[in-house]
Every structure is written in C-alpha cells, then in structure tokens.
Amino acid sequence: MTLAISGHLADVAGGVARHGWIVQAIEGEGIRPYAHTVGLLGHGMPELLVTGLQSPAAAHLLNSIAPRWLAGEFRLGSTVAVVVGDAVRSADVLLHAGGLAAVASALYGKEHTMVAELVWTRER
C-alpha cells in the first residue's frame, strides 16, 4: 500500500511541477462527488474544493477558476461567478481545514491543509 501511495504522490508531484496544480476527483457509490486542486498550496494559496459535480465538470471548473484565484481576482468571503456546463452560477468562497484534501496534505507534509470551498449560493 505504501508503494502505491508513494507512486501516486510522485505522479501528482510531476503533474504539479508541469502544470502548477492538478485536480483530484473523488467519486464512488454512496458518496457525494467532490474534487479539489493539489498544488495551489505551493503558490501560497489554499487549495480549491467543489462538491456535487462529476469529475469532468469539476475538473473544468477548478482548472478555469484556479488562475483567477492565484491572480487575486477573488478572495475568501467573496461571491464569485463560475461557469458550470452552459450556466453561470454564483458560489461563495469559504475557508476551512482541509480534511478532504488528503493528497495535498500528504504532498506538502501539512497535517491540516487549508481549503477554500466553492459553495453554491441559493438561487433567489
């Protein structure tokens, strides 16, 4: 098991080195799908997390919004417009301890990685 995890972390580290970050998606029967970035911590920013989207949509969303996050276009506590499929939706950006970002925690050696979660605002 340790070798498999080490190999996975090496693959993740390689992807982060090439692209600046990668998206780790978690899906399975009986769990709400979620995805988070790995690599933004290396830029001094919390990782981004989104729940409730299948992996292709989540990856597209996180890959499109990560450059805006790194550029400072929005910050914690902001409401940000994001494109999901053909629709533009609003999401609040909330900070919490990142228990869901275990790969980022393992890669950066941090016990509690901070995560900025995109939480869908209620439609009015």
Please name the residues in contact with 119: beta carbons below 8 A apart, sequence gap of 6 or more.
Answer: 91, 92, 93, 94
pLDDT over 80 (residue 5): no
pLDDT over 90 (residue 112): no
Mean pLDDT within 2-19: 77
Structural domain of 78: 2-120
Percent of the chain with pLDDT over 90: 17
d(CA 84, CA 101): 22
Number of domains present in the structure of the chain: 1
pLDDT reported for residue 95: 66
Please name the residues in contact with 8: beta carbons below 8 A apart, sequence gap of 6 or more.
Answer: 103
Alpha-carbon distances, residue 7 vs 11, 48, 52, 108 (angstroms)? 6, 23, 28, 15
- Averaged confidence pLDDT in the chain: 80
pLDDT reported for residue 113: 66
pLDDT over 50 (residue 2): no
The string of pLDDT tens digits covering residues 33-82 is 889 899 998 888 888 988 888 889 889 989 999 999 999 988 888 888 88
pLDDT-derived band at 3 (thresholds 50, 70, 90) equals: very low
d(CA 108, CA 124): 40
| Its pTM surpasses 0.85 | no
